[in-house]
């Protein structure tokens, strides 16, 4: 009898302990949602992608070229710019326009196609004009890209299409929204393709002059 009573008391104490410690977990009816921030595909084309000098759109490339004289850099740059004017996308009038052999300066006037879309059903492109100025010194090259403008849809409009100066079309003030977080329609494709073209030219010229 004493054994039975002890067993009963033991069971009650275990049950009491369980009631004090164990409980059913509360299910959260709302699932945690992680906020996914999508990268902006136009990030590289936003503020600062198009630089200006004295109110004019201009990019400048400064390259240290150790061990090469101004004349050596000049010769290499002349060939580089001359080759550029003969590429497939170039238009009539694209040429090395002026040289100053004494001060080792080369001025090239570039006229080329800037292609936005090229497919079986559609070709969207603009004539793109700009100037490249190479200033060669011992161990250093300074290349400037400026005087940019576009001639667009010359064949589509009866009045000869549209002419856009870079300052009025692809600058930060003209090509970005007020928050400077998006490109504006219309000029967006011009800004993207111009920045891409500048990057391509500068990267290749830097590689060539350092060879």
Q: What is the pLDDT of residue 72?
A: 98
Cβ-based neighbours of 53, under 8 Å, separated by 6 or more: 60, 146
On whether the 55-210 domain is CATH 3.30.2130.30, my answer is no
78 close to 106: Cβ distance less than 8 angstroms? yes
The string of pLDDT tens digits covering residues 150-163 is 999 988 766 778 99
Percentage above 90 pLDDT, the chain = 76
CA nearest to 60, candidates 68, 74, 50:
50
pLDDT for residue 8 is more than 60: no
119 close to 136: Cβ distance less than 8 angstroms? no
pLDDT band at 117 (very low <50, low <70, confident <90, very high): very high
Q: What is the pLDDT of residue 36?
A: 76
Give the lowest-confidence range in 10-14, 30-34, 40-44: 10-14
The two tokens of residue 36 are: 């996914």
Where do the domains of the chain lie? 55-210
Please provide the average confidence, as pLDDT, over all residues in the chain. Answer: 89
């Amino acid at each position: 009898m004493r054994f039975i009573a002890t067993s009963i008391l033991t069971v009650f104490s275990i049950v009491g302990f369980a009631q004090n410690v164990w409980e059913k977990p509360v299910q959260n009816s709302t699932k945690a949602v992680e906020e996914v921030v999508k990268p902006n595909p136009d990030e590289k084309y936003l503020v600062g992608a198009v630089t200006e000098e004295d109110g004019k759109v201009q990019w400048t490339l400064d390259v240290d070229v150790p061990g090469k004289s101004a004349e050596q850099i000049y010769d290499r740059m002349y060939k580089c710019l001359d080759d550029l004017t003969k590429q497939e996308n170039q238009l009539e009038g694209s040429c090395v326009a002026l040289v100053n052999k004494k001060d080792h300066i080369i001025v090239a006037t570039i006229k080329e196609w800037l292609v936005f879309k090229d497919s079986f059903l559609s070709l969207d492109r603009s004539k793109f004009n700009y100037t490249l100025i190479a200033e060669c010194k011992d161990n250093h090259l300074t290349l400037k890209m400026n005087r940019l403008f576009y001639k667009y849809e010359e064949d589509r409009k009866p009045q000869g299409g549209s002419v856009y100066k870079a300052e009025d079309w692809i600058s930060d003030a003209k090509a970005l929204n007020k928050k400077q977080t998006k490109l504006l329609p219309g000029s967006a494709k011009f800004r993207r393709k111009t920045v891409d073209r500048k990057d391509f030219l500068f990267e290749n010229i830097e590689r060539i002059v350092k060879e």
